[in-house]
């Protein structure tokens, strides 16, 4: 049954069948070949119960929020402002890529949207100023992964929904590791550019007055982040209500910057519908697969298999991490999450680990899947923005940042309080 689920998932994805459909097909297969009961007779109830949740309304709202910010030009102003603050360090504008990704991640909730936005703004400058294309592109792709870690995060909402975890606690748990990962990316850049100066580019030292003037372009992002995250943690709004407030503020920002037009709003709504439809199909398919796996006993079979290996909790966790790294080469991020959560999370809880903590650990491993070939979406997004050069340049440029992610995984294992401190205090 485990082999059927694993090889079936990989085989169907190899055929380029949409992920949501793959999850339904696997559920039908488990019902047909392994379940003594006709599970699919309850399909209608399972689909309804999985989609009838106010929590899920937050997903299209956060997608729309990101679409409005992308199309209103906020990212370009943010990049220019952050450039004045961080471009003096070894690596120059590479740090602006990471800093802008961090700021944009705090509002968009999507890694691909973050990478696409920063790549569109930054790549022309890289080519003009003579930056090393490998490291510059790799920094954008890696920085974009922060979009699913730093709250608000669509992937954390999905994880919380599927594991029945507190989404506000997940948002809090992801804040410190997300910011620390951004710092690790910048430290990695500094080390590389000090050892090999040719990897960087011209460093720009701005005056204090220029830095202060640039803050005006950062205030909308800070205000938006404070309104969304602050209202959740103050208990004034649920994540869904906070997302609604965020969309309203984003519209005000776009109107203030004279970017709010019917054409822009139409494009943002159309993009939101497409993305949200894809996400919801995957989420509902994951819920149906979860139902089939639980009823057929796959989770228990996998627990028994791991138990028969005679491994301790830490060794079992390391095996699971290795499985995620390998699967990340072949499976897209959201698909990787929803296909494995029903199987893996019960095992993690059985081992005595906190599922909030594991959610953050899983997000980092899923982030790696965004920058590892052949399926890493951020690689393709950045390459498309480059419009020239070899795809292998982007892949090679991501290697140092993938190693930084592995270091972050090690830190979380050694110091779980990095993720659990804030949720336990608020």
CA distances from 372 to 123, 201, 340, 348, 391 (A): 20, 25, 18, 25, 12
**369 within 8 A of 328, measured Cβ to Cβ:** yes
Cα gap 232→229, rounded to integer Å:
5
pLDDT digits (tens, 9 = 90+) for 155-178: 888 898 888 888 888 988 988 999
Contacts of 353 (CB under 8 A, 6+ apart): 313, 317
Per-residue model confidence as pLDDT tens digits over 32-70: 776 666 667 767 777 777 677 776 777 788 778 877 877
**Cβ atoms 144, 114 nearer than 8 A:** yes
**Residue 197: predicted pLDDT:** 82
For 100-110, write each residue's pLDDT tens digit: 888 777 666 66
pLDDT single digits (tens) 289-313: 777 776 766 666 666 776 677 778 8
pTM across the whole model = 0.78
pLDDT on residue 143: 85
Residue 6 is predicted with a pLDDT of: 62
277-286, 360-369, 400-409: which range is least confident on average?
277-286
Average pLDDT, the chain: 80
For a pLDDT cut of 70, what percent of the chain falls above it?
84
Vertex 400 angle, CA 396 and 405, to 5°:
125
* Per-residue confidence band for 356, with pLDDT thresholds at 50, 70 and 90: very high
Q: What is the pLDDT of residue 100?
A: 82
Residue 412 predicted with pLDDT over 90: yes
Least confident of 84-98, 297-311, 331-345, 387-401: 297-311
Q: What pLDDT sits at residue 183?
A: 92
Q: How confident is the model at residue 374 (pLDDT cuts 50, 70, 90)?
A: low
């Amino acid at each position: 049954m485990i082999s059927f689920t694993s090889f079936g998932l990989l085989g169907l994805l190899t055929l380029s069948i949409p992920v949501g459909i793959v999850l339904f097909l696997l559920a039908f297969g488990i019902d047909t070949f392994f379940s003594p009961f006709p599970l699919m007779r309850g399909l209608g109830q399972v689909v309804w119960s999985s989609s009838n949740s106010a929590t899920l309304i937050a997903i299209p709202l956060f997608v729309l929020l990101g679409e409005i910010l992308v199309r209103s030009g906020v990212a370009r102003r943010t990049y220019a402002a952050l450039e004045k603050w961080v471009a003096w360090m070894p690596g120059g504008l590479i740090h602006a890529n990471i800093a802008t990704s961090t700021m944009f991640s705090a509002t968009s909730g999507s890694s691909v949207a973050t990478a696409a936005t920063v790549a569109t703004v930054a790549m022309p400058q890289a080519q003009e100023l003579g930056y090393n294309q490998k490291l510059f592109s790799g920094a954008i792709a890696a920085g974009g992964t922060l979009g699913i870690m730093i709250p608000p995060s669509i992937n954390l909402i999905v994880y919380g929904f599927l594991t029945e975890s507190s989404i506000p606690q997940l948002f809090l748990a992801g804040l410190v590791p997300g910011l620390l990962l951004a710092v690790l990316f910048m430290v990695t850049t500094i080390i590389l550019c000090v050892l090999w100066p040719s990897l960087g580019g011209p460093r720009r030292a701005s005056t204090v007055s220029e830095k202060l003037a640039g803050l005006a372009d950062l205030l909308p992002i800070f205000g938006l982040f404070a309104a969304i995250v602050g209202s959740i943690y103050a208990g004034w709004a649920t994540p869904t209500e906070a997302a609604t407030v965020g969309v309203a503020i984003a519209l005000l920002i776009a109107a203030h910057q004279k970017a709010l037009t019917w054409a822009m709003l139409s494009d943002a709504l159309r993009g939101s519908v497409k993305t949200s439809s894809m996400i919801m199909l995957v989420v509902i398919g994951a819920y149906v697969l979860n139902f089939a796996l639980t009823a057929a006993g796959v989770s228990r079979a996998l627990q028994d298999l791991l138990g028969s290996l005679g491994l301790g909790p830490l060794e079992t966790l390391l095996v699971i991490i290795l499985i995620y790294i390998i699967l990340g080469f072949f499976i897209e991020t959201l698909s990787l999450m929803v296909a494995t959560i029903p199987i893996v999370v019960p095992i993690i809880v059985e081992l005595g680990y906190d599922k909030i903590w594991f959610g953050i650990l899983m997000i980092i491993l899923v982030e790696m899947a965004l920058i590892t070939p052949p399926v890493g979406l951020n690689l393709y997004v950045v390459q498309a923005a480059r419009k020239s050069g070899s795809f292998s340049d982007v892949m090679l440029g991501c290697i140092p940042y993938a190693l930084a992610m592995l270091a972050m995984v090690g830190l979380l294992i050694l110091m779980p309080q990095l993720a659990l401190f804030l949720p336990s205090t608020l």
